[in-house]
Amino acid sequence: MKELVVISGKGGTGKTSIVAAFAALTRDAVIADCDVDAADLHLILEPNIKQTYDFSGGKLASVDTKKCIGCGQCENVCNFGAPAFNGPANETVEKTYTIDPIACEGCGVCVEFCPVDAIKFEDTVNGQWFVSESRFGPFIHARLGIAEENSGKLVTLIRKQAKIIAKNKNKNLIIVDGSPGIGCPVIASISGADMVLVVTEPTISGRHDLNRVVELTNHFKIPTAVCINKYDINTKIAEDIEKETKEKKLKFLGKIPYDIAITKAQIKAKSIIEYSDNHLTKQIISLWKKITKFLNAKAQKNDTD
C-alpha cells in the first residue's frame, strides 16, 4: 500500500482541486482529507456519509458546584486564569468556583489539588470524523469545531483510519489532502508517507513557503516532488522555482496553468477531470502519470528489498 500526501506551503494554492483530480483519475484509491482546519474536499466529492464519530482532542476541567467548598486552591494552581469565584451557593458555602471552558487548557493540575474532588476532568468533543463513500472511492474526512485545537491528533487519526480502510478494501493507494503550512498538522500529515507532492504558486510568499515545506520533508526523509500551480501568473518566479527545485535535487513534476475552469468545476462540485478536457487537464494527467510511475517503482523496490 502506498500513501501520497499532497501539501502546500499555505492554503489557497489549488492543492485540493489537484487531489480531487487525482482521485477522479484513479478511482481506485482511498481518499483522506487531512486539511482538517479548512476541510473542503467534501465539497467536490459530495460524499455519502456512512459512519460518524466524535473526535476528542483533549480534556477539560469543570467544577461540581455542589461539592466545591470555595477554598480557591484551583485558582491558585491554574496558570491560565480559568477558575473564577462566580459559582452558585451550596449547602456548605455561599459562593463556589466555576471554570471557564475557553480559558482551560486541560492540564489537569487543579484536579490534583482540589481537596474535595469537586473537579471533573472529562474528554471534550472537538469535532467529528466520517467514513464515507464517494464517486471516486472510500473517503475519510473530518469537521473540527471552530477554534478547536489538536488538529494534529485528528490528522493522525484520519490517516490511520484511511490505512485500515485501504487494507480492508484491498486498495493499494491512499491519496491524502494534507494540511498546509509547517506546523503540527502538516507534520502529522506527512510523517511516514511514501511520497509528498508540494503544490506551490509563483509568488514570493509561495517560493518562501515552498522552501520551508521542503526543509520539513527533507527532515523526515520523504521523497518530495514539486509542481507549480497557476505558473503563468508569474512566469519569471515559476522559472526560478523550477530551477531551485532541480538544484535541490527534488523531483520537478510540472507546471499547471491558471484556468478559470478550476473554479467553475468547484462551483459545480466536480473535479476538473470531470468538468473539462483541455490543456490544463492534460497537464494534470501528465502529473498523475509521473506520480504513479514513481510510486510503482517504489513499490517494486520495496518488494525486491
As measured in angstroms, the least distance from the Cβ of 144 to ligand SF4 is 20
For residue 9, the tally of other CB atoms under 10 A from its CB is 25
Grid coordinates of 256: 499547471
Between residues 99 and 284, which has the closer beta carbon with respect to ligand SF4? Answer: 99
Grid coordinates of 114: 482540589
As measured in angstroms, the least distance from the Cβ of 68 to ligand SF4 is 3
Q: Which residues of 119-145 are buried (b: 16+ CB within 10 A; e: fewer)?
A: beeeebebbbbbbbebebbbbbbbbbe
- Name the residue type at position 8: S
The CB-side HSE value for 12 (13 A sphere, CA atoms) comes to 6
Task: Name residues contacting ligand SF4, limited to 67-86 (CB under 6 A).
Answer: 68-74, 77-78, 80, 82-83
| CA-wise closest residue to 122 among 80, 66, 61, 56 | 61
Q: Per CB under 6 A, does 107 bind ligand SF4?
A: yes
Q: How many residues bind ligand SF4 (CB under 6 A)?
A: 27
Between residues 64 and 239, which has the closer beta carbon with respect to ligand SF4? Answer: 64
| From candidates 118, 175, 196, 253, binder to ligand SF4 by CB under 6 A | 118
As measured in angstroms, the least distance from the Cβ of 70 to ligand SF4 is 5
d(CA 187, CA 7): 11
Rounded to 5 degrees, φ, ψ at 137 are: 135, -175
As measured in angstroms, the least distance from the Cβ of 131 to ligand SF4 is 32
| Residues paired with residue 282 on neighbouring β-strands, in sequence order | none
Rounded to 5 degrees, φ, ψ at 83 are: -70, 145
Between residues 52 and 76, which has the closer beta carbon with respect to ligand SF4? Answer: 76
Q: Pick the stretch among 23-31, 104-112, 126-134, 262-270 that binds ligand SF4 (CB under 6 A).
A: 104-112
As measured in angstroms, the least distance from the Cβ of 56 to ligand SF4 is 15
Between residues 71 and 269, which has the closer beta carbon with respect to ligand SF4? Answer: 71
d(CA 286, CA 282): 6
Grid coordinates of 233: 501568473
Q: Pick the stretch among 42-50, 61-69, 140-148, 208-216 that binds ligand SF4 (CB under 6 A).
A: 61-69
Q: Per CB under 6 A, does 164 bind ligand SF4?
A: no
As measured in angstroms, the least distance from the Cβ of 58 to ligand SF4 is 10
d(CA 118, CA 264): 56
Between residues 110 and 175, which has the closer beta carbon with respect to ligand SF4? Answer: 110
Residues in contact with 305: Cβ distance below 8 Å, sequence separation at least 6, in sequence order? none
Q: Per CB under 6 A, does 18 bind ligand SF4?
A: no
Q: Per CB under 6 A, does 14 bind ligand SF4?
A: no
Q: Per CB under 6 A, does 149 bind ligand SF4?
A: no
For residue 240, the tally of other CB atoms under 10 A from its CB is 13
| From candidates 11, 56, 58, 108, binder to ligand SF4 by CB under 6 A | 108
Between residues 106 and 181, which has the closer beta carbon with respect to ligand SF4? Answer: 106
Please check whether residue 30 is in contact with residue 137, taking contact to mean a CB–CB distance below 8 angstroms. Answer: yes
How far does CA 95 lie from the centroid of its chain?
A: 44
Give the interface with ligand SF4 as residue ranges (CB under 6 A): 61, 63, 68-74, 77-78, 80, 82-83, 97, 99, 104-110, 114, 116, 118-119
